[in-house]
Amino acid sequence: MNRRKITLISCFLLSMAALFACTPAQKKESANDLIVAQKKESANVGQVALKSWKEIDYRLPNVPHRQQVQSLSQQFPGVVIYKGNSHLKRVALTFDDGPDNYYTPRILDILRAKGVPGTFFMVGKQAKSFPDMVRRIVEEGNAIGNHSWDHPKLWTLTKEQVTQEIVSTENEIQRITGRRSKLFRPPYGRVNPAEVVLIHNLGYRIIDWSVDTLDWKGTPAPTILQSVNKEVSPGGIILEHCLAGRPGELNGTLQALPQIIDHLRAKGYKFVTVPTLIGQ
C-alpha cells in the first residue's frame, strides 16, 4: 500500500513539473499567435506590406500636437476638425496609412462582424497596390479619406508638390472606386496655416483626431483600451492604423478593436463614419 502511495505521489509530482515547465512556452506562444499568423500569411500571399516611413521620427508628442490642432481649428473653424458634435454620443473609428494585405482585411472582418463602420485615410501608393482592398472598404459601408500619396513631410514640400500628393491620391481612389473624398488627414498629423489654406482651396476639410491610441508604437491591447476609455468623449475621433512598420506592430489594434467597440457601446456610444460625425 505504501509503495502504491509513493508511486501515485511520484506520478503526480512529475505531472505537475511537466505542466509548469510548459506554461511559459505556452504563454509565449499565445502572445505571439498573431506574429506567427502574419508570417504564414506572408508565405501564402507574398510579402506582407510594411510602411517605408517611421512615425516616431516626425510625430509631435500628444500635448503639443493637441495644442497645435486646437489653435488651427480656432483659426480655421469648420476646416480643421479634430472632433464632432459634443452634444451627441457618437464616435468615429479611423484607420490610417493603408490599405495593406494583412491588417486591413482583419480590421474589416471585425467591423463587419460588429456592424460598425470605419473611416480609412488612404495612402495613394497603398491604394494602387491593393485596389481590391480599397473596393472592399467602400463596398462594406466604410468611408474613405485622403492621406497623401506616400506619407511625406508636407512642411518640406513646395505648394506644387503638396498639391500633387493630394491630387494623385484622389485620382487613384476615384479610379478604383468611382468616388472622391473631401477629407484629408495630413501625414504625421502635422500641418501649418499656409498648408491649411492650400488644402482647403483644393476642396478638402482637414481631419485630425481627439483620441490617439499610439498603436503604431506596438502598444498592447490593454493599454490601447485604457487610453480610449480615458480620452473618449462625445464626438470623438479615434486614431488607429492599418499598415504596420514591422511584423506584429499592430497586433494590439486587432486585439483591442472588438473590446473598444463593446465597451463604448455599453456606455451608450454610436459608431459612425467621419462624414456622418461632422455632418458632411
The pLDDT averaged over each successive group of 10 residues in the chain (280 residues) is 47 41 40 50 62 84 92 97 97 98 97 98 98 98 98 96 98 97 96 97 98 96 97 98 95 98 98 94
Judging by DSSP bridges, how do beta strands 270-271 and 90-96 pair with one another? parallel
Decide if 30 is inside a domain.
no
Asked if the structure places residue 11 within a domain, the reply is no
DSSP 190: -
Task: State the Cα–Cα distance between residues 199 and 204, nearest whole angstrom.
Answer: 6
Q: Which positions ≥6 away from 35 have C-beta within 8 Å? A: 247, 248, 251
Q: What is this structure's pTM?
A: 0.84
Whether 206 maps to a domain, the answer reads: yes
Q: What is the pLDDT of residue 32?
A: 54
User: How far apart are alpha carbons 141 and 276 in whole angstroms?
Assistant: 12
Q: Domain for residue 173, yes or no?
A: yes
Residue for grid cell 501649418: 192
pLDDT confidence of residue 47? 80
Tell me which amino acid residue 143 is. A
- In sign, the C-alpha dihedral spanning 253, 255, 256, 257 is positive
User: What residue type is 256 in one-letter code?
Assistant: A
Residue 157 lies in a domain: yes
Residue 37 resides in a domain: no
Q: Structural domain tally of the chain? A: 1
Return d(Cα 169, Cα 148) in angstroms, integer: 6
Task: Give me the pLDDT at residue 98, please.
Answer: 96
Task: Please report whether residue 199 resides in a domain.
Answer: yes
Is 207 in contact with 183 (CB distance < 8 Å)?
Answer: yes
Domain residues for 73? 64-277
d(CA 101, CA 189): 24
* pLDDT score of 119: 98
Q: Label residues 176-211 b or e (16+ Cβ within 10 Å = b).
A: bbeeebebbbbbbbbbeeebbebbbeeebbbbbbbb
Written as one letter, the residue type at 158 is T
Query: What's the confidence (pLDDT) of residue 42?
Result: 43
Q: Which of 195, 104, 206 is nearest to 147 (CA)?
A: 206
Phi, psi of 96 (to 5 degrees): -105, 160
CA dihedral 242, 55, 202, 78 (to 10 degrees): 80
- 3-class SS of residue 213: coil
Catalytic residue annotation: 96, 241
Distance CA 188, CA 167 (A): 19
| CATH code assigned at 99 | 3.20.20.370
